[in-house]
């Protein structure tokens, strides 16, 4: 697609806005979860947020996986969040690479003893592919950053 200079700038801003939206969603879920864990009931949260209690329940389920507390020494609770913060302009390339390289990813599970059952292995929420691979697929990481992280982890 051919874009002029103004369109290219708008496209970069659009991508950054999308990343900021993802970061805001993670922050929202984290704060909702923290309020619940601090003692607020789902009913009280639903009233504050002007949604139903089942909606709060669904959001809290999502928050457990998508918005854990920020790990000390990092900029996120998940590797995906770190990549989103990078795409949003909150951290630089060197920082995102260092944090993604140092991240402790979930290891793949042991293969099922029944070969026919391994057609679709279970997804590890904290695995490299689900976190960093998804960030690459969604445009939160540049190819060069992904390759640098992958190369460092392969060593």
Domain holding 3, by residue range, is: 1-67
Q: How many CB atoms lie within 10 A of CB 16?
A: 13
pLDDT at 117: 63
Per-residue confidence at 106, pLDDT binned at 50, 70, 90?
confident
Q: What is the pLDDT of residues 30-44, one digit of tens each?
A: 999 999 999 999 999
Q: What is the pLDDT of residues 11-24, one digit of tens each?
A: 889 999 999 999 99
Domain count, the chain: 2
**CA gap 111, 136 in Å, rounded:** 26
| 143 and 75 co-located in one domain | yes
Per-residue confidence at 1, pLDDT binned at 50, 70, 90?
low
| 77 and 147 co-located in one domain | yes
State the chain's maximal CA–CA distance in angstroms. 57
| 3 and 31 co-located in one domain | yes
**CA gap 15, 134 in Å, rounded:** 15
**CA gap 95, 124 in Å, rounded:** 25
| 75 and 128 co-located in one domain | yes
The mean pLDDT of 56-72, rounded to a whole number, is 95
Does residue 55 have a pLDDT over 90?
Answer: yes
| 56 and 91 co-located in one domain | no
| 107 and 133 co-located in one domain | yes
pLDDT at 115: 66
Q: Give the CA angle between residues 54, 131, 153 to the nearest 5°.
A: 160
């Amino acid at each position: 697609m051919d874009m002029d200079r103004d369109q290219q700038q708008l496209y970069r801003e659009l991508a950054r806005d999308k990343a900021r939206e993802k970061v805001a969603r993670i922050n929202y879920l984290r704060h909702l979860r923290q309020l619940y864990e601090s003692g607020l009931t789902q009913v009280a949260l639903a009233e504050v947020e002007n949604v139903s209690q089942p909606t709060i329940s669904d959001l809290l389920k999502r928050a457990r996986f998508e918005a854990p507390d920020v790990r000390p020494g990092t900029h996120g609770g998940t590797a995906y969040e770190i990549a989103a913060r990078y795409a949003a302009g909150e951290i630089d390339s060197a920082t995102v690479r260092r944090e993604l390289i140092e991240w402790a990813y979930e290891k793949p599970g042991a293969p099922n003893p029944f070969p026919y059952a391994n057609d679709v292995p279970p997804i590890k929420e904290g695995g490299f592919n689900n976190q960093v691979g998804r960030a690459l697929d969604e445009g939160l990481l540049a190819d060069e950053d992904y390759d640098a992280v992958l190369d460092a982890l392969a060593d």
